[in-house]
Structure 1
Amino acid sequence: MIMESNNYDEADMVNEVELLQEALGSGAWNMTFDQNGELTSVNWSQVFRRMIGYKDESDFPNKLSSFIDRLHDDDRERVVNLYWNAVKDYTDRTVYDTEYKFLTNNRGYRWFHAAGRIARRENGSPISIVGFFIDIDDKKKLEESLKAADEEKTEQLRILKSLADMYYSMHLINLRTGNITEYSSGTELREFLDKKISAAEKMRLIMENVVVPQFRESALKFTDLTTLSERMRGLKTLSSEFVGIYTGWFLANFIAVETDNEGCPTVVLFSTQVIDERKQQEHVLFLRSVTDDMTGFLNRRAYEAQLEYYRRNPIPENLVFTVFDINQLKHVNDTLGHAAGDELICGFASIANKLKMLQGKNGKVFRTGGDEFVGIFCLTPEQYAIGEKEFFNHVSKWRGKLVKRIAIASGTACRSDYPDLNIDELAKIADQNMYTSKAEYYKRKGIERRHI
């Protein structure tokens, strides 16, 4: 009997196989069942919907009736009976693999080939069925090329069925007996699974050898089979993410297959799924969300998060809080245009990016407004003084194409000078000092700020 996992993370599955499905002209779907074999959920993939001319769940709901109602009258009874016979055959001998005519939303009735694989519990009751749906209308209509079409269809089905094994590893674990039944497994796990030790010892040994050190302790706690049943009391699933030595980020998932009278699992399905690409995409999206597009500095959202961090955690003794402001930016925008103003903003960024001394190991620069920037550095006052001198030396030498010079006002508050103040109070002092610097600049230039 072949068993597959009940797919509890359909969104991740679609992201990983959607392009291949479309290239092969196929669409995936899956359904889940309770312990009594009753249907509990239906999920039609977006590729499936697009193949038959529908947009999303609003016009093709996640219901079995969405499919049944659109079957051709000649095929409906046969296909429905085959589906339920396959689901209810606890011996797993009945295979759901058939062809039929189906009413699409944009091209009328077309021929399709469908196949499904059913995952079952030890007693034979269904856990889930994962299936694929292939458009074979052209092949049906081209009688002279039926043989070639059948060969192509067979190859596509072979590839598609292999996609049903979407997990890096999958094992059924009997927590009472300690038995592990393997359904799929990465090659790196083989040597540990073959050892003549208990399931709990195997799991511990695997996590110690395949998870990177910084995640090892949490992975060991998560996969501790001696405490799993109690930790999953009343829960259907338990999931967590870790980083593997061989896989990068992976999702580990326990699914309760059987439970005792107190709701504690006695049999669980344990699966791991590689999600490294998804995590990298999430990281890119996160960086975009906290980065200012024009300067490449962290944005206001990141600045507020940094303040919140220091509100909850100790402030380093060598923290230096600096507020920067570009003088006369509004005047430049009004008289020379916004392109000139943008040149000043980018000019400040280019200068600040040169200052490795100012940035230090933990230094960060934020763009908090149009012409306002904040630097939070971890440097001694002496180190900061050297960096500040270098910074204003670059400022004095800067020349633009649209604007001749740039003038920067800055204000600083060192934690060492104000050891009793919190981060918001340090920010306020730095801001006040910046405005003092700005006022002195306008006074030297004989400029009335209300006219700028």
Structure 2
Amino acid sequence: MEDNTRIFTREIYELYERSLIPMGICYVENGRFRVHVVSDGICRMYRSTRGEMLKRLNGPDPFVNIVEKEEMIKAVRAFSYEGAPYDVVFHEYVGPERKLITVHCTGIHEYTADGRRYSILLYDEVSDKVRRNLFKDEEKEIEERDRLRVEIDDAIARSYTSVIYVDTSDLSVHAVRLNRFGRRVSDELQGEPVLRNVFDAYVRTLVFREDAASVLRFGDYDYVMSRLRETNPLFHTFRTIRDGRIVYYRLKIILLDDGKKLVYGFEHFDRQVRERIEREEERETQMTLLAGLSSEYETVWLVDAALHNAKLIRNNMGDTRSSAMMNSINSGNYEVLLENYIEKYVVPGDRERMYSETAIDSLLRNARDDSLYHVNYWRVNEEGEKNYIQLVYSRVTDDLGVTRFVCGFRNIDEVIAEEKKKSILYSMAHIDSMTDLNNRRTFDEYMDSHIGGRPEGSTVFFSFDLNELKTVNDTLGHEAGDELIVGLADCMKNVFGRNGNIFRTGGDEFAAVISCEGDERDRIAGKLYESFEAWRGKACEVLSVAMGYAASDEDPSMTLEDMRREAEKRMYMQKSDYYRREGKDRRKN
């Protein structure tokens, strides 16, 4: 000690220092409580050297290792400045291994011969047995708190300068570590610190005005839980005002302890954000070219996946109210901008899907560096017109691993109209208008694609021909004949379903190629005959059909063309048998 702080003689100093009784001598200097002497006994008890003890006890936070820190600060102040009795029990971590001990401490005030007051503090370590009996509930609470702090430290890096957790049973907020700004918010809180109050105070005190609404949502427990069901952990980057300047921070939210604790970490993220903004500005033109987004897009945006920030980089909408609106909100939080757009312009039936498919976590899962990701929806613009819009995302990851999305909005009304036109033209060329089956052209293309090839798996080729169609046409009219043709097509569609391809190859001729195993083809043939017999039309009551089929497993060397010839051969044999039984001339019927 310096001479001007000594209040005892050297002999008394040495007597106190060498004492095996755990004790300390303290006094108040310049309004601060200071430790003057520590005994050998207390150094042993705390597993520390005298120098280390004095440095910690006279340092900026002498109670750093005490569990009941706030209570101890109040007790020491009352003892030192108000003359209150000092008789406390507390828990403290001691030694390099940070062993938790329970301490009973009492204090008295004494005076020197010249009237200076000093305080003697006597310490006593409570035994494990006594501690377990006396502090059973408190020990359990401390162990649970320590376990939770370790779990939080594992989940929230030390780069997060302020960390709190929310007890989900009552939404009370508890501090794990706070920087000076976090302590300022804590001082402003009135009453019990619950989640909503904490975020109200935080936003009011520190958050940049334009980001206030987006940050305030994270004080809504139901909103946070709904977001965490989609992605855990949850991140949000925003701007704060620190010492008069804008500073970027990132919020990380995770669920711990089987959903009992909701942990919030606040990370100083300013350097990372500003570096990315600089790189973003340098690469905007290049990335637009990489994405291949041209003048066909009404607007083009750049979205930073980590920062959740969006910026308008091209507007091709001309002089319209929609264009003016886009220019007025040309940058900001991605989710906020998207929500405003969806709620104002997207038809209600498409909104929920838009939210799901355009979320950052959804884009990271579904969009690839080598392909475009599309989201189609109906939009009502400022002029009241309803258009079909395609939102196209192109994912670009730079050499530093930063992921961004270039997204463009384009009107695809004309594209859809052209696709419908193509679909109609295709149907006219490939679909039989009477039966809605594949037509002869489609059949020929199908057979050409299998020339010389052997069918894969168990394939069966069916050949069909209506009996007595000419007679029906001549006696009942062509409408009755058409009824038979449609009836045969319906029977085949009902039995075959989606198991193969069905074709109308001529006026009353049909073919089908299906996949089925051995005995299954006989069962299908039986169901076809049952369907033919059960059919009844308005003009005709009987549907008579000649049928033949050939299977690939009958002869492994057969091609599809070989199977066709064999199936037709069997069909014509059955047709001849029918006319012979009926005693009719096939050529006239």
Please confirm whether the aligned pair reaches a TM-score higher than 0.5, indicating the same fold. no
The TM-score normalised by the length of structure 1 is 0.43
Structure with bigger gyration radius: 2
1 or 2 for the larger relative contact order (CA 8 Å, sep ≥6)? 1
The TM-score normalised by the length of structure 2 is 0.33
